[in-house]
Chain A
Amino acid sequence: MWLMDRISSAVLFAFVIFYTAAGWGLETWAKKAPGPGFMPRLLALALGALAILIWVQAKPSLESQQEVESYSKREPFIIFLLVLAYVFVMPQLGFPLSNFLLVIALRRLVEPGSWRADLAGATGTVAIIHLVFVQILALQFPVFPVWWGE
């Protein structure tokens, strides 16, 4: 945990610098009352002090190599990328098509079955989700891709 604590501390400190710089122009005290910059200054000071404390308190790790190795780095990163990609793709492709692609990708990533089963599963899931949320609950999702009406 030693290295992790040092990294966390450095990231938090970098964030404090960014936060302070971004709120530099905010007034700290206006007449007799605190201004909009009062709380941010206070918080930046507190976080800076805590980041230093985390750095100082960092201790060598007790976590065994085996424990570290029991975690996979690849899958969570792919999940993150998939969700991030969905954010940009959904407004372009519409809700059902992007859901279909996301479900296929997730099923292929997590315990993949045969392609036929995964395609059928994804189609069924998208149909149910569309029926429940768009048709019955009338949520206003973009149903068709943006080029559809052109």
Chain B
Amino acid sequence: MDPIHGLLYGLSRAVEPQILILAFLGCFWGTMVGVLPGIGPVAGITILMPFTFGIDLTSAMVMMAGIYYGAMYGGSTTSILVAVPGETSSIVTIFDGHQMAKQGRAGAALALSAIGSFVAGTVGILGLTFLAPPLAELAIGFGPPEYFALALVGLSMSSFLSNASLAKGLAMAVVGLIIGTVGLDIISGAPRFTFNSMELAGGLEIVSILIGLYGISEVMEMMASKIRPQIQHEKLWNLHRLLPNREEWRLSIWPIIRGSFMGFFVGALPGAGGTVPSFISYAMEKRISKTPERFGKGAPEGVAGPESANNSGAVGAMVVLLTLGLPYNVVTAVMLSAMIAHGIFPSPLLMARSPDFFWTVVASMYIGNFMLLILNLPLIGAWASLLRLPYRWMTVFIVLFCIIGVYSIEYRSFDLLLMALFGGIGYLMKRVDLPAAPLALAMVLGPIMEKSLIQSLIMSDGSPFIFVTRPFAAGSMALFFLLMFLPLIQKKLGRRIAPVGEVEV
């Protein structure tokens, strides 16, 4: 099926009432978790994931994709209004967005963010529509060595881009891989680390661990932090005047276009997702601006560029998931585990074997993008009022949703115990600056990596040189080693690349 026919077919499926309703619910919930500080898209999707087991996979994916890019839209609201990022990709929006709000231009900042997100989302989805088929065709030639090398690059990149040191990021990735070794060996079927327990024989339930790491630990973090977002300058917000003025438009058009294209390609890289493109866009806009001194003081391009980049980056991350079956950030890792739970193992053949699934998901993204524009512009006042929601209600509902979500997977108290323990572990990890993202990604990638590694070694009679004799695998391994030795190279050269969150803005 060529992209145009595929898309038309997908659109005919995506307008079915059930899919439309779930796309709307996903966008609504996503915007809500994006607006609420503390819970991001990962928690938003993981908490709802068990409930998707009762519906078909296509509808479930449509809803999860809606949550993902809905959170990207919603995350900017808190950044602009109260200087608290709803999720990590909205951190840079604070610098100029909040300054605009303080100057009475909150409405314009939110509109630029929503329109930029819409344009970028559309560019990203067009990219997905037309680039995914050739990419999948290219990937059909990939064997276990290429998959192992790609997964290794994804993991190391995710560790490299985390705010902690590379050693800490990699250590957490290894812990995630270790978690994946519990249960029956995927090749021989021998039990490993099960301690004669029936619960452990099936492996540790990834969803319970993710909900613990991203749901319960977030509640603990919210409780630990005595600082609550304060609603200030509310009288200045001026949410009734949403349209930017002519000068703001003029300054924002090119940043939106640049951010949309750059974000899509950077977002498709391992570990990047929506966060890295937003930082790159800000730095890029500041560098090419004739008046960089305005940045940080309410420059509209400082909102429009990053907000566009993070949205197209989110779609870019979906390309790799849907064509290679490899998750390159935590959100897509969660989506992959949902697909596996539904019995679908994404691969380059997904488009050929399940065109209905693939094209419906892509087409629903177009519709979801429109829904988000409608949800976000006229209703911005309603979303802003969510910031007044008392903390006692937020904690109660997050904890209850986590519990219900985990228990409803298999109705086992053991999964609740796992969630509670990993909630505690996740909180302690935050306190000692150990990143959770590489761990979460590695848990999902672990079985894929182990299977590819063993298959590669069987193919080569145990020789590790198989990873350097095949061009694509060799290129990926070279990138992996470059990433490993980059800190040393930087030290030697006396320069360093700042991790995300530390980029000079």
Q: Do A and B come from one complex?
A: yes
Residues of A at the B interface (CB closer than 8 Å) are 1, 4-5, 7-8, 12, 15, 19, 22-23, 26-27, 29-30, 32-40, 43-44, 46-47, 50-51, 53-54, 57, 70-73, 75-76, 79-80, 83-84, 86-88, 90-91, 99, 102-103, 106-107, 109-113, 125, 129, 133, 137, 139-141
Contacts of B400 in A (CB 8 A): 99, 102-103, 125, 129
**Taking A36-B190, A50-B167 as contacts, is the C-beta distance between A71 and B224 under 8 angstroms?**
yes
Of the A-B pairs whose beta carbons lie under 8 Å apart in the complex, a sample of 15, sorted by A's number, is: A22-B193, A36-B192, A40-B178, A46-B174, A50-B170, A54-B165, A70-B226, A71-B431, A83-B403, A86-B416, A87-B413, A110-B396, A113-B392, A129-B404, A137-B51
Contacts of A1 in B (CB 8 A): 432-433
Closest 4 CB pairs of A and B: A76-B220, A36-B185, A75-B223, A50-B171
B390 engages A111 (CB within 8 Å): yes
A51 engages B396 (CB within 8 Å): no
Q: Of A35, A50, A76, which one neighbours B223 at CB under 8 angstroms? A: A76
* B322 proximal to A (CB < 8 A): no
A87 to B403, CA, bound (A): 9
In this complex, which of A27, A80, A109, A139 has the most chain B Cβ atoms within 10 angstroms of its Cβ? A80
* B499 proximal to A (CB < 8 A): no
* B434 proximal to A (CB < 8 A): yes
B167 engages A87 (CB within 8 Å): no
Q: Of A8, A83, A125, A141, which one neighbours B407 at CB under 8 angstroms? A: A141
In this complex, which of B181, B193, B225, B433 has the most chain A Cβ atoms within 10 angstroms of its Cβ? B181
A20 to B454, CA, bound (A): 20
A38 engages B454 (CB within 8 Å): yes
Smallest CB separation, B399 vs chain A (Å): 6
Smallest CB separation, A111 vs chain B (Å): 5
B174 engages A39 (CB within 8 Å): no
Further pairs besides A12-B175, A73-B224, A79-B399: 5, Cβ < 8 Å: A5-B432, A19-B178, A32-B461, A72-B223, A139-B404
A47 engages B413 (CB within 8 Å): no
Contacts of B220 in A (CB 8 A): 75-76, 79-80
Q: Of A57, A79, A112, A133, which one neighbours B219 at CB under 8 angstroms? A: A79
A8 engages B434 (CB within 8 Å): yes
A129 to B400, CA, bound (A): 9
**Taking A72-B223, A76-B224, A80-B220 as contacts, is the C-beta distance between A53 and B167 under 8 angstroms?**
yes
Smallest CB separation, B431 vs chain A (Å): 7
Q: Of B168, B227, B424, B434, which one neighbours A70 at CB under 8 angstroms? A: B227
Question: Using an 8 Å CB-CB cutoff, how does the interface string of B419-431 with A read, 1 for contact, 0 for none?
Answer: 1100110010001
Nearest residue (CB) in B for A51 is B171
**Taking A33-B462, A125-B396 as contacts, is the C-beta distance between A47 and B171 under 8 angstroms?**
yes
B residues 433-477 near A (Cβ < 8 Å) are 433-434, 450, 453-454, 457-458, 461-462
Nearest residue (CB) in B for A29 is B462
Contacts of B433 in A (CB 8 A): 1, 4-5
A47 to B174, CA, bound (A): 6
Nearest residue (CB) in A for B176 is A43
